[in-house]
């Protein structure tokens, strides 16, 4: 009987000793771990029409004139005779939550008449409000603009073409900052001296499909 | 006698079992030691996370910011995986969760800027997070 008890005790001691060796070398007990996820909802919004769009152009040759009611808007490079087109949209109709972010945003413009050979135009954000109906070149040249252009884009050589200009970074920033959208200036920073005027359709165009549009795809 | 024999056999079986375990515990692979076990893993206090992402003008993700992380997670590692359709990983990156700096607030943030590949924001349907640290 004593022998049996002794043997059991020996076996148990060996077993406990082995288990203790494991615990002494275990090194993961103090780590943190958390995992989770966030599902995104996708949506889109197209801003168009006279109620949500303001556009015009200004003429350096007629510095105190305004062209807010024109059905066309000009862009021209020649210093002293420059034309800028300005366009902005009221994003409130999209009811974008401040937690949203733009997946893509595209400004769509229909070019009525391209310059010979086509031009490369520059799109720059406007940083203060302006009144489309009365904006003059004197006023426009005094507006603050983004320190760098959002993008440049080619007009192509086809009259009546719809140009899709990416403005994702600006719209994404506007959504996150909850600031008002003051739109963009379209200018021609290219060479001068030849016929270089590009003419766009504006929101005053009779045909709805010719008017500027802003298409936003976003997550929320 | 029979009882003693049975007891001896039982003891041998027990000893053999632990001898096998002991052999595993002392297994040597090169100069490294091997051990095994399990332990409870806790969180640093995160119950949920929410991210916002920035894009460039081409719609590619340039940065993901995660806010409202508990202060206790400061210095730990945040992994963000951009998940697309069919739960496929589009890209993944890590960032160190910031410290509270000179002014501590109720929470801290972390940013991830490199996902290994260019990922279009349009394709992202979900953010997956992992917070790991000690």
Paired strand residues for B63: B54
- Inter-chain contact B132–A219, Cβ cutoff 8 Å? no
Looking at residue A25, its pLDDT comes to 39
Who contacts A159 (Cβ-Cβ below 8 Å, separation ≥6)? A111, A112, A113, A114
Identify the closest residue of chain A to B17 by CA–CA distance.
A15
CA distances, A25 to each of A13, A17, B78 (Å): 19, 13, 28
Chain B contact set for A102 (CB, 8 A):
55, 59, 121
Judged against a pLDDT cut of 70, whether residue B28 lies above it is answered with no
- Inter-chain contact A18–B57, Cβ cutoff 8 Å? no
Tell me the fold of A48-219.
Jelly Rolls (2.60.120)
> Averaged over A55-76, what is the pLDDT?
97
Looking at residue B42, its pLDDT comes to 82
Chain A contact set for B18 (CB, 8 A):
11, 14-15, 18
Please name the residue that has the structure tokens 């086509």: A118
Chain A contact set for B76 (CB, 8 A):
32
Q: How far is A177 from chain B (nearest CA, A)?
A: 12
pLDDT digits (tens, 9 = 90+) for B100-132: 666 667 788 899 999 999 999 999 999 999 999
B134, B61, B132, B46: which is closest to B94 by C-alpha? B132
- Inter-chain contact B59–A42, Cβ cutoff 8 Å? no
Looking at residue B16, its pLDDT comes to 44
φ and ψ of A167, to 5 deg: -135, 30
Name which residue leads in pLDDT, B29 or A82.
Answer: A82
- A2-25 and B2-25 are packed helices; what angle lies between their axes, rounded to 10 degrees? 10
Chain B contact set for A18 (CB, 8 A):
18, 21-22, 25
**Residue A16 — pLDDT band, cuts 50, 70, 90?**
very low
Average pLDDT, chain A: 88
Which of A34-38, A178-182, B22-26, B110-114 bottoms out in mean pLDDT, i.e. has the lowest? B22-26
Looking at residue A12, its pLDDT comes to 47
Judged against a pLDDT cut of 90, whether residue A149 lies above it is answered with yes
Q: How far is A43 from chain B (nearest CA, A)?
A: 10
Whole-model pTM? Answer: 0.78
Q: State whether ipTM is beyond 0.90.
A: no
Looking at residue B37, its pLDDT comes to 66
> Averaged over A51-77, what is the pLDDT?
96
> Averaged over A50-69, what is the pLDDT?
95
d(CA A58, CA A63): 7
3-state helix, strand, coil in chain B (%, to 5): 25, 40, 35
Judged against a pLDDT cut of 50, whether residue B27 lies above it is answered with no
A–B CB contacts, 8 A cutoff, strictly below: 140
pLDDT digits (tens, 9 = 90+) for A105-119: 999 999 999 999 999
Who contacts A61 (Cβ-Cβ below 8 Å, separation ≥6)? A80, A81
- Inter-chain contact A34–B18, Cβ cutoff 8 Å? no
- Inter-chain contact B121–A219, Cβ cutoff 8 Å? yes
- Per-domain residue ranges of chain A: 48-219
DSSP state of A121: E
A211, A215, A214, A216: which is closest to A110 by C-alpha? A211
Q: How far is B90 from chain A (nearest CA, A)?
A: 15
d(CA A117, CA A195): 10
Average pLDDT, chain B: 79
B26, B51, B20: which is closest to B130 by C-alpha? B51
Residue A145 structure tokens: 């603009």
**Residue B6 — pLDDT band, cuts 50, 70, 90?**
low
Judged against a pLDDT cut of 70, whether residue A64 lies above it is answered with yes
Q: How far is B58 from chain A (nearest CA, A)?
A: 7
pLDDT digits (tens, 9 = 90+) for B74-101: 999 999 999 999 999 999 999 999 876 6
Inter-residue contact B46 to B70 (CB < 8 Å): yes
Residue B88 structure tokens: 């496929």
Looking at residue B87, its pLDDT comes to 96
Who contacts A133 (Cβ-Cβ below 8 Å, separation ≥6)? A56, A66, A68, A69
B76, B61, B52, B53: which is closest to B130 by C-alpha? B76
d(CA A187, CA A96): 29
Q: What's the residue count for chain B?
A: 134
């Amino acid at each position: 009987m004593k022998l049996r008890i002794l043997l059991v005790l020996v076996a148990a001691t060996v077993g406990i000793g082995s288990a203790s060796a494991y615990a002494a070398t275990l090194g993961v007990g103090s780590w943190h771990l958390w995992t989770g996820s966030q599902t995104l909802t996708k949506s889109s919004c197209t801003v168009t029409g006279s109620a949500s769009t303001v556009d015009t152009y200004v003429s350096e040759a007629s510095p105190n004139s305004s062209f807010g009611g024109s059905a066309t808007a000009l862009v021209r490079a020649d210093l002293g005779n420059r034309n800028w087109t300005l366009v902005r949209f009221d994003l409130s109709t999209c009811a974008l939550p401040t937690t949203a972010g733009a997946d893509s945003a595209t400004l769509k413009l229909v070019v009525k008449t391209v310059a010979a050979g086509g031009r490369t135009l520059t799109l720059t954000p406007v940083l203060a409000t302006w009144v489309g109906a009365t904006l003059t070149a004197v006023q426009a040249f005094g507006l603050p603009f983004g320190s760098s252009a959002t993008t440049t884009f080619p007009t192509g050589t086809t009259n009546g073409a719809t140009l899709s200009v990416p403005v994702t970074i600006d719209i994404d920033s506007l959504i996150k900052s909850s600031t008002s959208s003051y739109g963009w200036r379209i200018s021609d920073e290219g060479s001068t001296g030849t016929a270089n005027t590009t003419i766009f359709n504006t929101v005053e165009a009779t045909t709805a499909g010719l008017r500027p549009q802003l298409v936003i795809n976003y997550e929320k | 006698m029979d009882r003693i024999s049975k007891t001896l056999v039982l003891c041998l079986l027990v000893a053999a079992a632990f001898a096998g375990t002991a052999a595993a515990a002392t297994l040597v692979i090169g100069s490294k030691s091997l051990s095994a076990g399990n332990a409870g893993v806790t969180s640093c206090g995160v119950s949920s996370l929410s991210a916002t992402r920035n894009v460039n003008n081409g719609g590619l993700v340039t940065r993901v910011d995660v806010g409202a992380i508990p202060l206790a997670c400061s210095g730990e590692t945040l992994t963000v995986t951009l998940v697309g359709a069919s739960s496929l990983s589009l890209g993944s990156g890590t960032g160190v969760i910031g410290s509270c700096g000179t002014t501590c607030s109720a929470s801290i943030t972390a940013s991830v800027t490199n996902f290994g590949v260019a990922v279009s924001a349009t394709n992202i349907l979900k953010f997956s997070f992992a917070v790991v640290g000690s």
